[in-house]
Structure 1
């Protein structure tokens, strides 16, 4: 019984639509298989064989996302070996480190006030830092000058009663100086300190992923995304992981995701098997068992005792799901004359949840079945009508068709994942 509906399971597996990005089709088209490999350009696809495993590290502005694939055919389908993972280790981490450095020099209260009172000047300052951040390279001997907006210098003098140069001297931060051109001068050591926390987090996350049993035997690591253009990140990853696997940096690394999106649109079937990122299921009513179910979940309905809010899993986290798998379910309205059935779908990051009220469980969607009116001549309430739903997963959307078994009339069924 599902939230007031009797449920007849036809399939044990519910293959939930999975969020995927274009990086999953890294190099399928032969016309775009040229890579910048460590120190030169070469044809790389011919080196990859059936069964080879690789990691794609999508290093963007806000996050770093990792996927692991295995090649099933030399130029064909891919199999995802481990659920997609990642963290907030994007290029914005370097920007936040720069802001923290400014707070240490000029005071957090001043920086907060300046951002609120002079937002345009703050944007100019961050743009100036972004330009210098892109030119930072490992082993650079000379420092980088960052132009401070005049409003920053003037506002600080009014706010603190002293000059920016005086503040730098009093901060005892030797890696940041005031240049003779009237600019903030960051030494090579300062730039390295700004990059290291974010880079270390990226490398640590990749290393932890490579320790997973499912990921053993990875031969290649593809570094893609806008942040992957940074020479600081490229060399750090090469130094840390170059002995474990081959580091591949594609040409036009910042456009790799966009190119992959176009290629994936041409052939969405390239990723044949994926890993489910979450556990999905619906809230159901099961027979209440004394001593097993808590009393606060007890519901008495038509003289029978039911346990409410049980999460009945469709698919578990990190479970393999194949493209195009279909599940069929049958539903019966709880009331005669009912015109609509709504079934709520829940998800969780773990697979040990029991109830939809457990911590970490949230509603992520709903299945809506619209029912046609009863056929003329039928006696309402004599027999419960059966609605049979067919759901196909693995594409960019869930395809659902429902049939009223008694009348063989098709009813409209949709799944809404956007409003929650």
Structure 2
């Protein structure tokens, strides 16, 4: 991993915002940043159905052919797959959408597979890697038309949710390696932090008229990053020089805009049944995509004061499939359902009460509001009165109204083009990564040790005899505690010695727990996070090693130095392996 100073010497920063539903990129040159940090280039020429769409991002969709070869991304992948489905030639192809959430919901490992829309699987690292490769390649082609910049000149930033685990962050890093982005050129940025940085540079005009005073040292505000997949929330305090301090550990959950889509699909499934809906989704892909794009538009435009009926054009084939399967009409499907009297559906015309459509937002709104209320009650967050809403889902007036009404004593600030705050902020973070001065640990990190057995504090179940001595096995020895405030670059040092001569590798197990003071590594809510690997030279003597772990950055780092007098204090290759 390159030093901060080495990356700062690169002439350009490029950020890839890898989202659950949409992804894009932005970049700026060092000299442009020095003149105006907000001056940057964002691609807005994504194409859907052969027609240019004024869009800064493309759907996070990847298409692979029957030979498992990557073919296309974004709108192009959606349209190509729809064409294949129309000719019933799509069965052997691989179509992946909204797969980023797999890194939030599951135990992440290097060999994990992800399933496409038909249940066929490919290695997750290849799918993520190809998406990063595509966005990188798209950017590089755009650059060649304007500037003579090579990959080696670019400091790449990839954004991830702050609530992600260390394993998920490392997975994204290794996916970037698959896209020929070297570790020396790569930095992982936390999404709400990036958005927070960007908003420091905005005027009140671009913050919906609200004054967001960047000069007021000590003021506190909450960053509510609402994306397609997650609600990712942090609390910051402004420091002198425009720097930021995290006051409470990043938190949130899977409460993004896709929850609204799920509720809409649940409604259709309750009407026509799962088998019919699956047949529609997989056999008539173009119609399904058209319906979901229409839903996205309705999600963005519905307002709290909207009344009457919401009109949607539902592909007639869905009604036809239902009639073929059951012999009934869509009117029959509605009768006796919870939507009777509130919804009409004839051929391709659906009209539903606005109250029904608004109810699709209820679950994620309730969870987000409850979580924010809980955070504001924390002593560490006391005095926070500004709520900064960023991310694509924050552009929904339903979400804005819900947050504003739930927290009337707070100022709710929503930047114009809130969906771009993370991407633009990631570029700024690449130019000045030291803007974040301290963070709060989400976990207690430590290693397992076996101290002498103490009957007054150790249970008999953990007693073992090693040689002639009684020891307590699997004791959790912490480095950093959950909730602990950590200055960026905080170093924790442990000293170790090899057990054997000619030992060329030292492995230390690293454990993590959301509990503040776990006692043992084998108790509930303690997870083997991975290992610290220290590569050593072949020696006929035992080697003393000082292992230094660096906390407080977006990723954990590790260094190892030899301590023996006759080894001249050599530095050895060392790394975390959480996969």
Name the TM-score class by shorter chain.
Answer: 0.7 to 0.9
Q: How many residues end up aligned between the 2 structures? A: 392
Matches within 5 A, 1:98-117: 98-112=264-278, 114-115=280-281
- Contact (CA 8 Å) 1:229, 1:254: kept in 2 or not? yes
Aligned position for 1:158:
324
SS in 2 for 1:368: strand
Counterpart of 1:91 in structure 2 is 257
Root-mean-square deviation (Å): 2.7
Q: Does 1:52 find its partner at 2:210?
A: no
| SS of residue matched to 1:130 | helix
Deviations 1:184-227 (A, max 9, x none): 11221111211222212211111111111111111210000010
1:20-419 equivalent positions in 2, closer than 5 A? 21-26=190-195, 28=197, 32-35=201-204, 40-41=208-209, 44-45=212-213, 49-73=216-240, 75-112=241-278, 114-115=280-281, 118=284, 121-171=287-337, 173-178=340-345, 182-241=348-407, 243-290=408-455, 292-374=457-539, 380=541, 384-397=542-555, 398-406=557-565, 407-419=567-579
Deviation string, structure 1 residues 131-163 (Cα, Å, up to 9, x no partner)? 222221121134222222232121101111012
C-alpha separation in 2, matches of 1:115 and 1:29: 39
Query: What's the secondary structure of 2:521's corresponding residue?
Result: coil
Normalising by structure 1, what TM-score? Answer: 0.85
Contact map agreement 2:200 2:242 (CA 8 A) in 1: no
Distance (whole Å) between structure 2 residues aligned to residue 173 and residue 134 of structure 1: 26
Check the 8 A contact 2:236/2:246 in 1, yes or no: yes
Q: Determine which structure has more spread, i.e. the larger CA radius of gyration.
A: 1
Preserved CA contact (<8 Å) 2:190 2:554: no
On the 8 A contact 1:369/1:402 being kept in 2, the answer is no
Tell me, in whole angstroms, the C-alpha distance in 1 between the residues paired with 2:554 and 2:564.
Answer: 28
Which sections of structure 2, spanning at least 5 residues, go unmatched?
1-164, 170-188
For the Cα contact (< 8 Å) 1:53–1:218, is it kept in 2? yes
**Structure 1 residue 272 displacement after superposition:** 0.9
For normalisation by structure 2, the TM-score amounts to: 0.63
CA distance in structure 1 between the aligned counterparts of 2:249 and 2:279, rounded to whole angstroms: 43
Residue in structure 1 matched with residue 31 of structure 2 by the alignment: none
**Residues in 2 aligned to 1:30 and 1:108: alpha-carbon distance in whole angstroms:** 44
Give the Cα–Cα distance (whole angstroms) in 2 for the partners of residues 292 and 112 of structure 1.
58
What is the CA–CA distance in structure 1 between the aligned matches of 2:424 and 2:307, rounded to whole Å?
36
* Cα distance change on mapping 1:120 and 1:416 into 2, 3 Å: farther
Between the aligned partners of 1:234 and 1:309, the Cα distance in structure 2 is 48
List gaps (5 residues or longer) in structure 1: 1-15
Structure 1 residue 103: deviation in Å? 2.6
Alpha carbons of structure 1 residues 21 and 207: separation in structure 2 relative to 1, 3 Å? same
SS for the counterpart of 1:328 is strand
